[in-house]
Amino acid sequence: MHQVTVWLTGYPQTLKPSVVLPKAIPAPSTLSTDTTTTDRINIIIIIYKGNLHQYRFTNRYLTINRYPYYILFYNSVLYHLPKRNGILTISKDQFIVTALSMKWSGSTKYGFAVGRVRFLETTLLDRGRYDRLIQVSDLSGMRTVLTDTVYGRFLGERDAGVNLEKVFISAGSDNFSFLTEYCINPWVLNIFRLGADICNLKTVLKERVADIKPDLTRQFHQGNWNNEALSDLAEERPRAKPVQVRNVITSVLRDYEKEHDPALLDFRLDQLEQEMALELASRSPFLTGLFLLHADIENLRTFIRVRVLGKAQALLDRAFLPGGSIAVSFLASLLKENWDAVVTRFCFSLYRRLIENGAGYAVTRGSLVRMERLSREMELSYLRQTRYATFGYEPLVSYYLFRENELTNLRQIYAAKKAGMPREEQKELVAYVD
Reduced DSSP (H G I as helix, E B as strand, rest coil) percent helix, strand, coil of the chain, to 5: 55, 10, 35
CA–CA dist 15, 286 (Å, integer): 29
Is the predicted pLDDT of residue 412 greater than 90, yes or no? yes
CA–CA dist 73, 50 (Å, integer): 11
**What does the buried/exposed string (b/e) look like for 250-263 if buried means 16 or more CB atoms within 10 Å of the residue's CB?**
eebbeebeeeeeee
Rounded mean pLDDT, 56-85: 34
Strand 3-10 relative to strand 63-64, pairing: unpaired
pLDDT at 388: 77
Domain positions in the chain: 3-102, 191-267
Is the predicted pLDDT of residue 191 greater than 70, yes or no? yes
Rounded mean pLDDT, 265-271: 93
pLDDT tens-digit series, residues 171-188 = 999 999 999 999 999 999
Q: Please answer whether residues 43 and 7 qualify as being in contact, where contact means their C-beta atoms are separated by less than 8 angstroms.
A: no
pTM above 0.85, yes or no: no
Rounded mean pLDDT, 4-22: 33
Rounded mean pLDDT, 300-327: 87
Per DSSP, the residues of 292-352 read HHHHHHHHHHHHHHHHTS---THHHHHHPPTT-SS-HHHHHHHTTS-HHHHHHHTTTSTTH
pLDDT at 325: 76
> Reduced to 3 states, what is the DSSP secondary structure of residue 19?
strand
CA–CA dist 40, 59 (Å, integer): 8
Q: Please answer whether residues 102 and 76 qualify as being in contact, where contact means their C-beta atoms are separated by less than 8 angstroms.
A: no
Q: What is the DSSP secondary structure assignment for residue 20, as one 8-state letter?
A: E
Q: What are the φ/ψ torsions at residue 19 (nearest 5 degrees)?
A: -145, 135
Is the predicted pLDDT of residue 292 greater than 90, yes or no? no
The H-or-E segment that residue 405 falls in is helix 394-419
Instruction: Single out the residue of 212, 229, 211 nearest to residue 220, CA to CA.
Output: 229
Residue type, 136: V
Per DSSP, the residues of 49-107 read TTEEEEE--SS--BEETTEE-EEEEETTEEEEE--BTTEEEEEETTEEEEEEEE-----
- Mean pLDDT score across all residues of the chain: 75
CA–CA dist 396, 391 (Å, integer): 9
